[in-house]
Structure 1
């Protein structure tokens, strides 16, 4: 009799737990979407030479070894604008995203090699120009001598010679300045302005982009934590819990009962993101994120591979299970397809968060 009662109670528990099943796509979106933000990074580079002079550029083209937007005037620089996704992880305005969303994407050593070559080319050009002036001066000196011997007026040649000698002196000065430049003793500085826009908000003017500061990054695992300058997360925005124990490995009694009833919380995962940044996010109702469902197809100690399509702009998106628990941070896709993406497992974000000063 006891066995029958126990069996009946067990069945009842399973049925009750099964009735409290996993969340639907709409329920996940309603629960979590307000915690997702669109991140904008406006950036440029400064080359601060060892002689104190500075030059600026927008980006470095590795294939062509050229510096886009090169200028000597900071006011003339055209900032590079890129977008990613982030999500709130504390009530103090902390936002998680990818390192590459907020950091420089150029290889400093490669850029410095190209800079060295570029300044060497400048020196060669100055050298060539200096000796072309010498040839011109010699020609004018010969003409002047001929006119002097003939008793003719050579004041015009004197005037031109004075101008050319002045120009040659300027070229010589510039050449000596270039010789003193050592790119390896110079600094390559990455300037950035990070701002976010809230999900379901209007972005019509610059003040609608909320300024942030980068607090800490983990380049190895492509993670970053930024913070609203106000240091306060708005009360209406959802805050994702960053668990100490990975939900993919942790099942409560309730979770196990639901799993037995065919409701495994980790059978599928969701990603909430801003694919293509504002290009897809802008709607007649403000900016809106997209939510996509997929399955985990591969796990390693550091990352997950899942069948969720994405586009540029989704970097830094939260990946949650069917209970809305954070399991990964999206960071990269396969180059041959947009249907599979990689996420960094949540334990690395937990470690980065714990490393911040209390």
Structure 2
């Protein structure tokens, strides 16, 4: 065999080795991308520094907990018209403002709170109806012939006619209704016309004088859509004097059961006064480890501005209790004092780790309150 022939036979073997090496390197890279971050995270977790009681927890997180104010109003659309708001003497249609609590969890101004703080119209009494009473009111005062650009002005002008049982102030080009006069007694001495054609003409005129009123068709209830819409969401910081920072809704948990949402400052920047955020990486996400009898510490704004406002600005409050019931995977029960306004408050264990987001309780009695376990808040930020 010649030297040239031998070289040609060996060449495929060298190419095969290169291919195998390339495949091996590719596999290593893929596995590295998939597993190295997980391994790194496992062995490089931030060390949990256990805080010593509620005072230390309060001092660390008081600036991270904010008072949330959400104002919303109802918008009306008729037959697919551009939505509009009306200003009438009816408290149902006035803008509504609710208050809640939230807490910073990121350097770009993300704030964890409750879903019912981010979209309050989906909870409470308003979920039990579709604003049918308002639709019926509008349908009773708005004629079908009114132009779309005149809907708002016409409804506002005629809103109270619904309560008075009157028709709206409706004007349209039409003939006036002619009322027949009461017939007079004929004088026996009067000359009676013998022309039959005249008598027929008079009788005909009398009949034509009785004209029925024109029927007015009104808008149908099914043509009316009423939708709640945010006017403004803003937050105030601990120690501020009602300096409100505007926010937007960033993300909301899927489903009605998990009452958690994330807001974000419009500036997307953490305020300079907030030195410690609530670190979701250190939160207790395995809720099976949260046992009844362990401490639960809530920092928030129960009663909103009623309790928060002081001579030295807005002040957050802290309350302590114990876990009363094991987690069911969604919520925890505890006996920490809480009421309206504390929705969205962080609930910590005795070390200062987040264990839940406060969301509900019983108005009739204290000591029966609930929080969504922390893993659901952490899932929204990932």
Aligned match of 1:232 in 251, 264, 269? Answer: 269
Per-residue CA deviation, residues 272-291 of structure 1 (Å, 9 max, x unaligned), is 01011111011111110110
Q: Where in structure 2 are there 5+ consecutive unaligned residues?
A: 1-48, 144-160, 185-210
Is 1:352 the equivalent of 2:361? no
Instruction: Decide whether the 8 Å contact of 1:37 with 1:196 is kept in 2.
Output: yes
Report what 1:151 is aligned to. Answer: none
Is 1:105 the equivalent of 2:121? yes
Is 1:242 the equivalent of 2:242? no
Is 1:94 the equivalent of 2:101? no
Q: Which has the larger radius of gyration?
A: 2
Distance 1:31 1:193, change over 3 A: same
More displaced stretch, 83-92 vs 42-51:
42-51
Per-residue CA deviation, residues 217-267 of structure 1 (Å, 9 max, x unaligned), is 12431111000011011243121111375265569xxxxxxxxxxxx9982
Report what 1:280 is aligned to. Answer: 307
C-alpha separation in 1, matches of 2:128 and 2:365 = 31
Per-residue CA deviation, residues 182-218 of structure 1 (Å, 9 max, x unaligned), is 5366352423310000111122xxxx21000111112
SS of structure 2 residue aligned to 1:30: helix
Instruction: Decide whether the 8 Å contact of 2:66 with 2:237 is kept in 1.
Output: yes
Q: Where in structure 1 are there 5+ consecutive unaligned residues?
A: 1-19, 59-65, 71-77, 147-164, 252-263
More displaced stretch, 334-343 vs 46-55:
46-55
Report what 1:190 is aligned to. Answer: 229
SS of structure 1 residue aligned to 2:129: helix
Aligned match of 2:342 in 289, 308, 314? Answer: 314
Q: Determine which structure has the larger helix proportion and give its number.
A: 1
Distance 1:186 1:289, change over 3 A: same
Per-residue CA deviation, residues 51-88 of structure 1 (Å, 9 max, x unaligned), is 52655369xxxxxxx96354xxxxxxx42121100000
Aligned match of 1:79 in 77, 95, 100? Answer: 95
TM score, norm. by length of structure 1: 0.67
Aligned length: 275
Q: CA deviation at 1:321?
A: 0.6
Distance 1:21 1:87, change over 3 A: closer
C-alpha separation in 2, matches of 1:129 and 1:57 = 19
Is 1:302 the equivalent of 2:330? yes
C-alpha separation in 1, matches of 2:127 and 2:293 = 41
